[in-house]
Amino acid sequence: MKKTILSLVIATISMISFAQKKTSTSATIGFDASTAIDDLPKAENKTAIAAIDPAKNTVQFEAAIKNFAFSNPRIQEHFNAKNWLNSDEFPKATFSGIITNPSAVDFKKDGTYSVNVEGDLTIKGKTQRVQTPATIVVAGKTVKANAAFNIKLADFGVEGQPITAGKVSGEPKITVSAELN
């Protein structure tokens, strides 16, 4: 826990030191692996770190796995267990990417912009390329970013009986929402 807090503080300080970067330490990442059989495998993490650098068109997120909160504590235990996300060995998920169509957004002008983001998502020590449309809203000095995409759990080494039994989706929906200043 102390290591997580320390790394959050260090990451925040390093992000703040670059004035042009827009940052947040309270971005929300949703995980929805619900199925027709079970609608409980849903979680949110409201403590993700996010950064957008308009000068470099980069996008970054980092989320502590243990900070995903489920309504059912038993599902949360399974989620963090060694045979699932193994949060003790792999404590965070990260995304590092770019806005592939940077001319679609003007960070100096208020408005709502549709962009495409592409980058590397790392979960449980495995990295996969992700592409997704995203929405960026510029309002004064604040930037809001939203995106939604699906991942394949098997690509990150997450498999098991709950998936094969249809209780947990093998392709959960990931939602990302951040207000950056």
Domains and CATH numbers, the chain: 2-102+117-131+146-180 (2.40.128.110)
Query: Rounded to whole angstroms, what are the CA distances from 150 to 39, 129, 175?
Result: 17, 12, 9
CB 77 within 8 A of CB 68: no
The yes-or-no verdict on residue 162 having pLDDT over 50 is: yes
Average pLDDT over residues 124-151: 98
**Burial class of residue 49 in the structure, from the number of CB atoms within 10 Å of its CB (0-12 exposed, 13-18 middle, 19+ buried):** buried
Task: Look at residue 20 in the predicted model and tell me its pLDDT.
Answer: 83
Confidence class for position 17, pLDDT limits 50, 70, 90: very low
Q: pTM, whole model, 2 decimals?
A: 0.88
User: Which helix (H) or strand (E) segment is 2 a member of?
Assistant: helix 2-16
Tokens of 21: 């970067």
Average pLDDT over residues 32-59: 97
The yes-or-no verdict on residue 19 having pLDDT over 50 is: no
Task: From 150, 16, 122, select the one nearest 65 (Cα to Cα).
Answer: 122
